[in-house]
Structure 1
Amino acid sequence: MAVYDLEEQEQISELKAWWAQYGNFVVTLAVVAALASVGWQGWNWYQNRNAADAGVLYYAVQQAAEQQDAQKAREAAGRLIGEHGGSVSAQLGALLSAALQFESGDLANARAQLEWAADKGKDAALRDLARLRLAAVLLQQGEHDAALARLEAAPSAAYKTRFDDLRGDVLAAQGKKAEARAAWQAAIDGLAAEGEEAATLREVVRVKLESLGV
């Protein structure tokens, strides 16, 4: 029993010596770990709160769009972009509001929101969609070179045929028939691979192609 007590005391002495040397370091690590855990939980709370707030504003844009209230949609989308510009909700809100501005004839505000969505939006596919719609607005405004510039970079495969179609529209507006024909033919070829779902658009592009004549 005495031997056991002696060994135990030696272990306690070693532990005390170890703690005297490394105790502060261990405490510091424990504090840092605790702070990191609290910080992570706080960050998650902040992220969830931001996502919820962005969702509320996007819903406001949706409601305004359903009511065909272009001003309310524009204001809600503006707040969404200003307060939650890094969210996909902001990109979607800008696209939805821009569509309403376009329908109401406000090309300037449609263009502004599409430029933001195309240049600063988070999601790459939505940036392509914004570029496509922005090029359509620029075509309406008669800015043909600017429209072509927006269509220049290759989009994702999902939007390629739509880019070709709109490129043909812009080139035809510029009187460049051969280039327009090539763009529309590329669109028709791409749409053929999409099956019956794209049949209507394929027919529209075919009519535009035939309108160029020989």
Structure 2
Amino acid sequence: MEGYATEEQQVEALKSWWKSHGNAVIFGTVLGLAGLVGFRYYNDSQLAAQEELSAAYDTVVTELSENGLAAKATTQTFIDANSGNAYATLTALQLAAEAVKKQDFAEAETQLSWVATNSNQASILPIAKIRLARVQAQLQNFDAALATLDKVTLDTFASKKAEVKGDIYVQQGDLNAARSAYETALAGVGANTQLLQLKLDDLAIADVADDLDAAIAGELNDQ
């Protein structure tokens, strides 16, 4: 599905950051709690547990990358067991991506809906919701897709949000609404100018074709 490549780069960046800093986040949290209760030492078991979870995550995503949806059961078990952790969110996103590759949009919707509902990561939520909207559109759930996009509120995703709205309007055959959405996207921060202009050009060609069809139909009726 169009748009996944760029978003995947953002997700990969977050994965890399979490792999590099996840333990430090846990460390800082525990130290903060220790200060509150008067302890002066760091609980090594917390760090060990985090490292074990990181290793388990590596194993799961490697299996998922190598085996695709054949690894769904193992992957889902990991997500369910770690539902309050960022690793579960990242794993669900990857499982959704694998489902999209196989055009299993129902499974992708399930995973992305879970992320959109359960993740507390501000950097992940807009990506999950935009992907969810695309999947819902593939399932012909256009109203749900547009409603999902309306929940994306970060300004940095405004252009992508408008672009996906335009794509949905095209699927619905509402070319005027699509044009307006693409123009909004084109004016937004971080807009993919070249791609959006191509989409607008395609709409212009479609308009010419419609006008030509209408003219031919009119001539035939006059005969």
Structure 2 length-normalised TM: 0.67
Is 1:54 equivalent to 2:45 in the alignment? no
Pairwise mapping of residues 14-29 of structure 1 onto structure 2 (< 5 A)? Answer: none
Aligned residues: 173
Distance 1:49-1:117 versus aligned 2 partners, 3 A rule = farther
Deviations 1:51-92 (A, max 9, x none): 3343233213431343252221x2343123211112111111
Does structure 2 retain, via aligned residues, the 8 Å contact 1:188–1:205? no
- Per the TM alignment, residue 133 of structure 1 is displaced from its structure 2 partner at its CA by 0.6
AA aligned opposite 1:60: T
* Distance of 1:125 and 1:54 partners within structure 2: 21
* Distance of 1:211 and 1:91 partners within structure 2: 41
Aligned residue number for residue 176 of structure 1: 174
Distance 1:175-1:202 versus aligned 2 partners, 3 A rule = closer
Distance 1:50-1:142 versus aligned 2 partners, 3 A rule = farther
Deviations 1:3-57 (A, max 9, x none): xxxxxxxxxxxxxxxxxxxxxxxxxxxxxx9x9639x745x633x3443343233
* Distance of 2:156 and 2:49 partners within structure 1: 30
Distance 1:51-1:188 versus aligned 2 partners, 3 A rule = same
> What is the CA RMSD across the aligned residues, in angstroms?
2.7
SS of the residue aligned with 1:69? helix
Pairwise mapping of residues 1-214 of structure 1 onto structure 2 (< 5 A)? Answer: 37=39, 41-42=42-43, 45-46=45-46, 48-72=47-71, 74-190=72-188, 193-194=189-190, 198-213=192-207
Deviations 1:119-144 (A, max 9, x none): 11121221111111111111111110
Does structure 2 retain, via aligned residues, the 8 Å contact 1:172–1:180? yes
**Percent of residue pairs bearing the same amino acid type:** 24
- Per the TM alignment, residue 160 of structure 1 is displaced from its structure 2 partner at its CA by 1.7
AA aligned opposite 2:77: R
- Per the TM alignment, residue 156 of structure 1 is displaced from its structure 2 partner at its CA by 1.9
List structure 1 runs of 4+ shifted beyond 6 angstroms: none
Higher radius of gyration, 1 or 2: 1
Q: Point out where structure 1 has 5 or more consecutive residues left out of the alignment.
A: 1-32
SS of the residue aligned with 2:93? helix
